[in-house]
Amino acid sequence: MFYFGEQLTGSSSTAGCGEHGKTEQRKLLHDFHTGIGKSATRNTILRRKAFTSKLISRSVTRECQKETSEFNRRRISVIDTPGLFDTGVDNDEIRKEIVKCISMAAPGPHVFLLVIQLGRFTQEEKDAVKMIQESFGDQSRTYTMVLFTRGDDLGGTTIQDFIKDDGSLQYLIQQCGKRYHVFNNKETEDQTQVSELLEKIDRMVAANGGSFYTNEMFQQVEKNIREEQERILKEKEEEIKKKGEELRAKYEAELEQMKKENNEKKTR
C-alpha cells in the first residue's frame, strides 16, 4: 500500500508544513504479505470501505489496486498489492510486482509499513519479513515502521509489554528504529489513530532529511543480489570442475595401476 499525502488548495499554514503552508508529499508503501487486518487498515486510513476485507487465509487482492481519499486537507492515495511474499509466490512474479509498485510511487516511498496482526508473531510472518528485507535491502530499514492491527486485542496489556514478551518481535522493532504504531480497526470512526500515524511518519521523514526509498536503491539491491548469485554459481561451477578433475585424476591413476599390473602378469 502506498500513501500519497499532499496539501489541498486553500489550506492555511500549519506546523510541519513547507514553504507557503504546503505540506510535503508523503508516500507510504504497505508490505506485500497477506493476512487478516491488511485491507481493514487501508480502509481505516481512507475512511471508507475501498478494499475488500474478509476472514480468509489467501489474498483477496490479486492485482494492484489504487484508491484515493482526503484526510486533514491531504489527498491520500493507496495502492494495494497481492500477497507477494506469501508462501509459493514465484520470485519473478515478486520482482515484477515490486518494480510496478515502486514505479507507481515514483520517485519513491517515504515509508515502508510492515503490518502485523497482534497475537503470536508466526513463522510465516517472520519469513515474509525476511523476504521483504532481503528484497529491498538494509537501507529500507531506515524507512520502515511496524503497524500493528487488532489493537483492541491488547486488553489491559500495553503494546510495550506485548513487544517485550516476544524476542523476535522486539528484534524486528529495533531493526526498524523502534518505530511502530497500533491500529484498532473496529474503531474506524476514530481518526485520532490515523492522525498519530501520519505524525509519526512526518517525524521519521524529518529524521531522514525528507529523503525516500528510491528506485535506484532497489536497483542496487537487485544488482547486489545478481552479483551474489553469480558468485555462488561460479563457486559451484569451480567446485564441480575441481571434483571432476579429482575424479578424472583418480580414474586415470587407477587405470595406470591396472595397466601396470597387467604388464607385470605378462612378463612373468
Q: Categorize the per-residue pLDDT at 18 as very low, low, confident or very high, splitting at 50, 70 and 90.
A: very low
Same domain for 231 and 150? no
pLDDT, position 64? 66
What's the predicted TM-score (pTM) here? 0.68
- What confidence tens digit (pLDDT) does each residue in 245-260 have? 888 888 888 888 888 8
**Half-sphere exposure in the Cβ direction for 246 (13 Å, CA):** 6
- What confidence tens digit (pLDDT) does each residue in 211-233 have? 888 767 777 777 777 777 788 88
Check whether 7 has a pLDDT greater than 60: no
pLDDT, position 170? 92
DSSP tag of 191:
T
Same domain for 187 and 223? no
Determine if the peptide bond prior to 82 is cis (ω within 30°). Answer: no
What are the distances in angstroms from CA 119 to CA 29, 150, 166, 231? 23, 9, 10, 40
- What confidence tens digit (pLDDT) does each residue in 46-55 have? 766 655 554 4
**Half-sphere exposure in the Cβ direction for 76 (13 Å, CA):** 22
Same domain for 115 and 176? yes
Torsion angles phi and psi, residue 166, rounded to 5: -125, 110
Same domain for 140 and 179? yes
Range of the domain at 229: 214-268
Same domain for 58 and 168? yes
The total number of structural domains that make up the chain = 2
Same domain for 198 and 101? yes
Q: Which residues, including other chains, have CB under 8 Å from residue 40's CB and lie 6 or more apart? A: 53, 149, 185
Q: Are residues 255 and 172 in contact, defined by beta-carbon separation less than 8 angstroms?
A: no
